[in-house]
Structure 1
Amino acid sequence: MTPPEAMTQTETILRARPTATGPSGAGGAPRRGRAHRSWSDVAFTVWGVLVMLFLFLPIIVIVIYSFNTGRLLVSWDGFGFDAFRTIIEKPAIQNAVRVSMITAFIAAIIATVLGTLAGIAMARYPGKWVWWFLSLLLLVSVTPEIVDAVALLPFFVLLGQDFGVGMFNDGIVRLSVGSSLFATAVVSYIVRARLVGQDANLEEASADLYAKPITTFRRITLALAMPAVLAGFLLAFTLSLDNTIVAAFVQVSGTTPWPVYVLSAVRSGLRPEIAAVSTIMLLLTLVALALVALVLKRAGDSATQIARTMTGG
């Protein structure tokens, strides 16, 4: 076969092949149409949107009405920032918010200290006692708040008056201790979930190198648990802001927290400043949750691990 004849056959073969830029797409592969979604996928999507609206629509409404310039919350007169200015001008609102912030901060510290120690103990010293202890924590978590409130009131009176422990006559102390009960259980779940999946080889190596137990705890164990400790503190703070039932029972005159103030304000009609403070507290809660996720993400956790830690799973 002469070279010109060979070139002619080669060109014929190349022309017969589908080109990469042909109408069938890259590499000549036939184009596939967009996959049709089944009716079940569409139904679940619509249902998910409806559930989200059901959960968040009331919150969206209260945020919108916090910018109401009317005298009452349900009477929309116009858009403005009058309700936020009223917060600065009303000492009663300022005092209620201040009491709530202080008690939430103290309750978060109490819950973080107790919950961290409990979570580390459950993760590092497993045994039958852990399931009994988890059952007690679960009991604390699911017990109705009205039961806790009714139990705490005579308990504080007994300690403050009969036993002469004057600190339990203070409203801030009562509110802080009462708000820390549920938060302590939450922190315990979170810290345990963080440590139970991590090996204890580093702590054993520290002990083999003759480090003191307190040094091992501070530099190894606590360092490993620190993302969960910070997450637990922030969650305990947000949970303690709205402990309405317990606060209504254990408060004393002069230390009315914000939830109780709102509860009493309902009798005379809700005003826009109530929604304004609620919006501010909502933002604080969202910021706290975002910080929790950021702390866990910087610790190297995936999205699944972050959700697992935050839920104590």
Structure 2
Amino acid sequence: MSNRRRFSPADAFLNVWGMLGLLFLFFPILVIVVFSFNSGRTLQTFEGFGIEPYLAALSNPAIVNSITVSVVTAAGTAAAATLLGTFAGIALTRRPGWWAPGLLVLLGLVMVTPEIVSAISLLPWFVTLGVDWGLTGFNIGQVRLIIANSLFASAVVTFIVRARMTGMNEFLEEAAGDLYATPWRRFTDITLPLIRPAVISGALLAFTLSLDNTVVSSFVSVAGSTPWPVYIFASLKASLRPEIAAMSTLMLVLTLIVLGIAALILRRDPAGSGSGAAGLTDAMVGR
């Protein structure tokens, strides 16, 4: 008997339908990438191929400043969310108490609450706290953006680390304690290496989530600290220029690199349990 698979019209239809679905999803992105090489003045018509939009974008101080604000905000958000989310995930798994169900509910609410609601809530809160909070020497607009973006990102990291900790054997930590290892030594030598894939992937995911946060950023940003999504939104009042598409393409490449690193780390989960990927999926349900 031949092992060759028989042709199925249903399978062929599903394959074609899947390809059309992917084309529908990624065609707008492909258009932006193509028009990023448009040598014309606007994105309405493609007048010729050239790299002038990239040169114009990199020489525009307003665009460079907005990109810098976005990258710095994303890095600060990743650091804050990773610190808070890692310890929250460990506490929820290893030392759950009466507070654990309430914290899980709050984290779930943070993830499913519409961003416009969070933005409207953050704006009067920042105004109530004051203008500079006494933080001399800091860019207060940058601090506001990091705090606002860290709310959702911290919940994402918490669920990823919690899923990883759930699939980890606690006997290893107990064995280290029987050998007179201090709690800090048990954490650095046993717990942290085992949860490192979840921590790193959570940090990278928090970084990418912060890059495209438009709604919250538009409410909490101040003059001089305008992130890239807010800059693009403001540019819609006039005609979009090719340099916007050029810099958006570079940001897309940066995001794909970060997501690729996160995917690679999740695939190399040392425990092989897939808990990191499961946590990533659970965390993105509310997105």
TM-score normalised by length of structure 2? 0.91
Larger CA deviation: 117-126 vs 229-238: 117-126
Compute the displacement of 1:221 (Å): 1.2
Q: Secondary structure at the match of 1:119?
A: helix
Deviations 1:254-307 (A, max 9, x none): 111111110111111111111111111111111111111222334436595563
Partners of 1:38 and 1:68 in 2: CA distance: 43
1:100 aligns with 2:97: no
Partners of 2:10 and 2:267 in 1: CA distance: 34
Deviations 1:68-103 (A, max 9, x none): 111001210111111100112110101110111111
Listed as ranges, the matches of 1:98-177 within 5 Å are 98-126=68-96, 129-161=99-131, 165-167=133-135, 170-177=140-147
Percent of paired sites with the same residue: 52
Letter in 1 for 2:106: L
Q: Secondary structure at the match of 1:267?
A: coil
Larger CA deviation: 102-111 vs 205-214: 205-214
Runs of 4 or more off by more than 4 Å in structure 1? 126-129, 301-306
Q: Unpaired segments of 5 or more residues in structure 1?
A: 1-30
- Assess if the C-alpha contact under 8 Å between 1:84 and 1:273 holds in 2: yes
Compute the displacement of 1:52 (Å): 1.1
1:271 aligns with 2:268: no
- Assess if the C-alpha contact under 8 Å between 1:160 and 1:169 holds in 2: no
Task: Pick 1 or 2: higher relative contact order, CA cutoff 8 A, min separation 6.
Answer: 2
Partners of 1:238 and 1:82 in 2: CA distance: 27
- Assess if the C-alpha contact under 8 Å between 2:66 and 2:225 holds in 1: yes
Partners of 2:244 and 2:232 in 1: CA distance: 7
Deviations 1:96-147 (A, max 9, x none): 1011111111011110001111111122235675443222211101111111
Listed as ranges, the matches of 1:1-313 within 5 Å are 31-32=1-2, 34-126=4-96, 129-161=99-131, 165-167=133-135, 170-300=140-270, 307-312=277-282
Compute the displacement of 1:310 (Å): 2.8
Count of aligned pairs: 281
Letter in 1 for 2:223: S
- Assess if the C-alpha contact under 8 Å between 2:115 and 2:216 holds in 1: yes
